[in-house]
Structure formats: structure tokens, C-alpha cells
Chains A and B, each alone.
Chain A
Amino acid sequence: MKETTNVFAEYCSTLSESDAAAVRDFFSEFNVYFKLSKKESRKFRSDFENALMAITRRGVSVHEALNRLSMSNLGGFYARPAVQWFPLDEAAKIYPFSMDHGRQQMFRLSIYFKEDVVPELLQMALTFTIKRFPSFATTLKKGFFWHYLDTVKKRFAVTEECDMPCQPIKVSMSGSGAFRLTYYKNRMSVEFFHVITDGTGGMVFIKAVASEYLRLLGVECPADATGDLYDVNETPHPEEFENAFVKIEKAKSGGGFVEKSALQLTGKPANHSPCRVLHLKMNSDKLREVARSQGATVTAYLLLQMFLACHASTDELSGDINIQVPVNMRKYYESRTLRNFSMFCGIRLPVDQMENREQMLREIATQLTEKAAKDKMHAMITSAVSIVGGIRLIPLFIKDPLVRLVYSFMNEKSYTSTLSNLGVISMPEPLAKHIDHMDFCLGAPAINRVACSAITFNNTTVFTICKMTSDPTFEEKIYKYFLEDGLEIEVEGSDHYAY
């Protein structure tokens, strides 16, 4: 910290008198915006100093740089005490119970810029954005009956990526956050503990951070072209934090949670989870065309390829392959919530009936239509709300072992894998041209050997495979099937960590 201050003092000494005065003026306001501990305030001050130097290094005038870094972007967030708190939504309530040492329900969203990330500006982008998402600026706490999210006013640090995606976040320490923002070369990634949001909420957040980052870099986005992008200086709306599940009227009957066991891929689980992450990049128009030529939607087509690859990756001759597909409830129920608001369904096919592709595809499409239908999801939400309501008065110290026990019976054993398709993501044109592509990665499951996800941006679909076993059959087969269908695939990813 001292070193940074010295560097900044040196930097200031090189400025003209008027620039130096402008910088002094700028920092004279600092204490108005930060009512935090000295240690925490010093970190923020250092961030501002580093960002100022980073912007001016790019040939921007000091006045323009100070304008971009204006402290009014903080909106008083750090000047007010932390008083907000958020009960967990119905879907999130299970996540603290399903946590274990080294295991957490995580997912990750990444944006690949056309240039390498400037960490100092990314840090400021996060600092300016977080106030718009108060339910993300939280720490997980224990209540007497339920866990909850307690607001924390601290610097959420941006760090350089140094591990495999979706490693657990230590949420146990005082004020520890439930997400992490990292960068590596031209990639910016946000990894979320599912307790704070789902894929849709996470996407809103990462888009807001990216737009703020690009603004700091000097990319202009006219106000009328922002589309669905959140204005980070707008006051958050209460509907964005609502527990949308409880607003839905109860269905006549519940259901949908209990599934019989499914086959698991035969590969030995690796010690390092995930042991490999692969991104299969393809042209989305071409993908859509291939899917359409087979009479299927993109999701159904991807599921077909997964079923075939799963079939090739298991030695079992009987039983079912069951692929979990998350379903975004926002498409059925109007909601602006940034919290969790998704359910899931299982697409199940017997392993001994995987010869006829057309028949399989028909079956997948039928099951997708039926099982992800609004009435089925409604019944599932009713069950979730009823279960939560039924145990709400049991103290947490009793509920914890009970829920863990039940979860151990109902968890991933029912599924072979997961496919989460976030669909087509859009960004305003002035910002989109600075972004190459995006990817979306699910965290390592406990039992399943593979989890898949897909996202489309800028006419590029990225199909991500998160591997928990060294056995390469799944990815090799799915790659081969895509090629056989005429898709051109570019494969990116991590090295393989088998130890």
C-alpha cells in the first residue's frame, strides 16, 4: 500500500500545476464518500490512485480521467452503514445445507474482451457497480431458523485468475462475499455462489460490470442504446430482491422433486474438481440451422449430443441417463428479481434405447415440452414453497443435519449430467463491438462426472464441458458428433489436472 502511495506521489509530481490541483480537489472529497475503517478506506483510495494512473497512461487527460472516476459514481453506498439484509429465496435455502468442505454450488460467467483486461479499471468498475446490486454485496450468515444474506460494506477485490473455474468461495469469514471477480488476459469472469443469484441475475451483473469497465476505458454508449443494461447509478428497485417464488399462487398439487436414480458415467472421479474445462466454440447460425434441419431446438439438439456422448462414456448396459435442465421461471412469471428464480426438469432416456437418433430427438423434444411446461414448474414451485414452509419453525441447528441427510438422498444421484443453456445474450452495439465472446461454466458437481452449459453471444455459441473425470470419452465423442453434423468447432480450455 505504501509502495502504491509512493508511486502515486511520484506520478503527481510529474503533473502540471492545474492537473495536480484537480487531483488534490478530487481526493479532498474522498472522506465524504467513505465511512469505513481506515484500513478499508486506504484500499479504496489506492484503487482510485491506481485507476487514475492507468487511465492517464492510455493518453487520456487528467481532467477526463477524473471525470470518468468521479466519486459520485459511488452513490453514497460506502458512506452509509450496512443495514440491509435479505432472507434467502426458496431455491437458495438449500445451498448452505448442501455445502461441504471444498464443495459449493457455483457457476461462472465470463466475458472475453478484444483487448487484455486493465485490472485497475476492472477494480473500479466493480466498486462503482456493486452499489446497484446490494443483494450481491452481502455475506452469508446464520439466523436462528434460516441462513440469510447480510449487507457488507467493504472493498470487493478483483483478483487475477490462478485456479480452475468455480472453486469454492470461503464464505465463513467475517464479511466474506459470495462472488469473486477475476481476470486473465482478455477474460473477465464472475464466479457466483448460487445462494445470491442464478444465471439470469448473474448475467445482469456481469453485463453491468462490463459496461462500467468499458465506460472507464472511454467507450461511449448513448443512453437510448443501453437496451436491457442496468444503469449502475440508478437506485435499485425493491422487486429486484424479491423472493419471487412466494408470490406465485399455490398449485392444486405439488411434485417434481423425487426422481429415481440415474446412471453415472464410468470414469473415476479426479481429485481435482473440475479436472478440465473445455469450451467448444461454434457459429450459432450454423448450430441453429443444424438443429432445425433435424427438427429440433438448439437445447434439444445439444441434449441429444450429450445423451449420445454419455452413452459412449458409460459401461452400464441398463438403466437411464437423466440430464437435468434448469428452467428459467421468468419466462412463465413476470419478475424483475435478480435472486434465484429457476427450477429444473430431468430429461430421461434408457441407455439401451440409444440407437435411433431421430427417435431419441423426438423423445427429448417431447419430454422437454412436457416436463418444462408451466404447470409442471408450477407444481414444483408449490412443493418447494410447501417444504420450506413446513420446516421453517425448526431451529437451524436441528434443521441442518436433517436437511443434509435428505439432500444426500435427493441430490445428484438422480442425474447423470446437467445442461444449462442461458440462450442468446445481447449487449448494446457500442459495447458489443469490444467483446469477442462469452462463456458460461457450471461448478463441479459432487457425483456427476460432467456438467455442460451453453451461451450465445455475437453469433458465437460456446458449449462448455466441465469435467470431473480424466476419462476423455465424453468430450471426444461430443466433438466428433458435432463435426459429423457439419459444425466447425474451435476448442479452448484448461489443461488437464488428473492428480
Chain B
Amino acid sequence: MHIKITYPPVEKHRFARRKLLNILRWPFVLAAVASVIVNIAIGGVFWSSIAVVALWSAWSLIFSVDLVEYNRTSQSIKTISFAIVLLTLIDLFLAPGFAVFVVPIVYFAGLIFCAVLLFTDFETQRHNIMPLLLFIFFAIVTSAVGLALWHEHDFWPLIVLGVVAAVLLIAIIVMLGADFKRELIKRFHID
């Protein structure tokens, strides 16, 4: 069978991400399983949950990155969310007492950072706004619940969190105008 070559020569591919993931998956799974087993074996607080979430964060943020909507807004929110979850777990299992104060500070700092990313390139980032809207929604809920539960603590970070989230939401609504409703319709369509 004589084949007439009609395609350009292809340079050898770089090490494919899929291949890398297939190799790296196992050390990650092993590390996660090992930490849980060691934790159960030696007893004590459930510190392995922190190790598992940290491994999952690294896997998801560095190696197996998002295949849809991988942009600066979504990745910043993902990073901040993982940080918040890890801080909460550390508070729960290792060093209780700081999360009520620290987590809202990290959260509103993250919101401000995301707002900067959004408003410095609004035309592009307006199409990536969904994760930010959810982040704002949870910030308002966190602030409200936090104030209801821990109002006897030093609660100014919770107030700031609620205020920053509300201001950011209003700013987005104003900037998007009629597109805000359209954004919600398309992001929450069920058909």
C-alpha cells in the first residue's frame, strides 16, 4: 500500500498532561490513604482531613486543572476557597479559636482581590463572573450566620466581610445593568 503523505510532519509532543496525571495520581492517592491510615492507627484528632484537603487542593489547582472556565477569576476564587476550608479545618482539629476572626479576614481580602481582577479587565472578566457571584453569596451568608452565632466575639471582620460582599454585589449589578439579569438567567438555566 503506497501512501502519499499529505500532512505536515508533527514534532514530537511534549510530555502530555494526561500521561503526567496518570503517573502522579497514584502518589497523591497513596499519600492521602496513608495519612488517613496513620491518623486512625495513632489516634488523636482528625488531622488527616487537613492533609487530604491540602493534597486535593494541590491536585486540583496545579495538576488536574479545570477543563472549562480556567480563568483568573475562577482560579483565584478556587485558591481562596481552599485556603478558607484549610483554615477552618486547622481551627477545628489543631488550633481552635482563631478561625472566627481569621477566616472572614482572608475571605474579604480575597473578595477585594477578586474585585481588583474583575474591574481591571471588566470587558473580559464579566463573562467569568459566575464563581464570583457565588463567592459573594456565600460571603453574605457567612457574615450573617457568623454574626448570629459569634456576636460576643471580636466580630468586626464578619461585618467587614458582609459589607465588602454587599458593596461588590451592588457594584457588579450597576456595572452589568440589564446584563446582570441575563447573566443570572443563563448561569441558572435548567434546560
Contact = CB atoms under 8 A, between A and B. Distances in A.
Contacts of B64: 101
Contacts of A495: 5, 7, 9-10
Per CB-CB distance, the 8 closest pairs between chain A and chain B, nearest first, are A172-B70, A494-B7, A102-B18, A101-B17, A85-B186, A492-B6, A101-B18, A174-B71
A24 interface: no
Contacts of B179: 83
Interface stretch (A140-148, A258-266, A314-322): A140-148
Interface stretch (B26-34, B50-58, B93-101, B121-129): B121-129
A144 to B, nearest CB: 5
Given A87-B191, A392-B190, A476-B1, A37 B123 contact: yes
A454 B12 CA distance: 29
B67 interface: yes
Given A144-B187, A175-B124, A163 B3 contact: no
B109 interface: no
A472 to B, nearest CB: 9
A100 B18 CA distance: 8
Contacts of B68: 96, 99, 140-142, 147, 171-172
Given A37-B123, A140-B68, A476-B1, A161 B7 contact: yes
B153 interface: no
Contacts of A161: 7-8
A278 B3 contact: yes
Interface string A80-107: 0011010100000000100111110000
A161 B191 CA distance: 37
B8 to A, nearest CB: 6
B18 A143 contact: no
A170 to B, nearest CB: 9
23 contacts: A83-B179, A101-B64, A141-B69, A141-B127, A141-B186, A142-B68, A144-B134, A150-B186, A162-B10, A163-B10, A165-B7, A171-B67, A172-B65, A173-B71, A184-B6, A271-B16, A272-B13, A278-B3, A393-B190, A491-B1, A491-B3, A494-B10, A497-B10
Given A140-B68, A172-B66, A476-B1, A184 B190 contact: no
B67 A101 contact: yes
B21 interface: yes
Nearest to B21: A101
Contacts of A163: 10
How many interface residues does chain A have, given as a range?
A: 35 or more
A463 B149 CA distance: 69
Interface in B108-136: 123-125, 127-128, 130, 134
Contact of B188 (A96, A141, A144): A144
Contacts of A499: 12
A381 to B, nearest CB: 16
Contacts of A243: 191
A270 to B, nearest CB: 11
Contact of B130 (A143, A146, A475): A143
Contact of A492 (B4, B10, B134): B4
A471 to B, nearest CB: 14
Given A161-B7, A162-B10, 11 more contacts: A141-B68, A141-B130, A143-B186, A147-B68, A172-B71, A174-B124, A277-B7, A475-B1, A491-B4, A495-B9, A499-B12
Interface in A160-205: 160-165, 171-175, 184-185, 187
B182 interface: yes
Contacts of A150: 127, 186
Contacts of B10: 162-164, 272, 494-495, 497
Secondary structure class of chain B's binding surface, majority of residues: loop
A497 B124 CA distance: 39
A493 interface: yes
B67 A184 contact: no
B131 to A, nearest CB: 8
Contacts of A278: 3
Contacts of B18: 100-103
Contacts of A393: 190
A163 B4 CA distance: 17
B69 A172 contact: yes
Contacts of A174: 71, 124-125, 127-128
Residue from B3, B13, B71 having most chain A Cβ neighbours under 10 A: B3
B179 to A, nearest CB: 7
Given A96-B68, A174-B127, A493-B3, A162 B190 contact: no
A162 B8 contact: yes
A308 to B, nearest CB: 16
Interface in A262-299: 271-272, 277-279
A150 B182 CA distance: 11
Contacts of A165: 7
Contacts of B69: 141-142, 172
Contacts of B17: 101-102
A429 interface: no
A479 B70 CA distance: 44
Contact of B187 (A37, A143, A271): A143
Contact of B7 (A147, A164, A479): A164
A490 interface: yes
Given A100-B67, A171-B68, A146 B7 contact: no
A273 to B, nearest CB: 9
Contacts of A271: 13, 16, 19
Contact of B189 (A101, A143, A272): A143
Given A142-B69, A172-B70, A174-B128, A187 B189 contact: no
A159 to B, nearest CB: 12
Nearest to B17: A101
A312 to B, nearest CB: 14
Interface string A200-227: 0000000000000000000000000000
A246 interface: yes
Contacts of B189: 87, 143, 145-146, 148
A99 to B, nearest CB: 5
B172 to A, nearest CB: 17
Contacts of A146: 189-191
Contacts of B7: 161, 164-165, 184, 277, 493-495
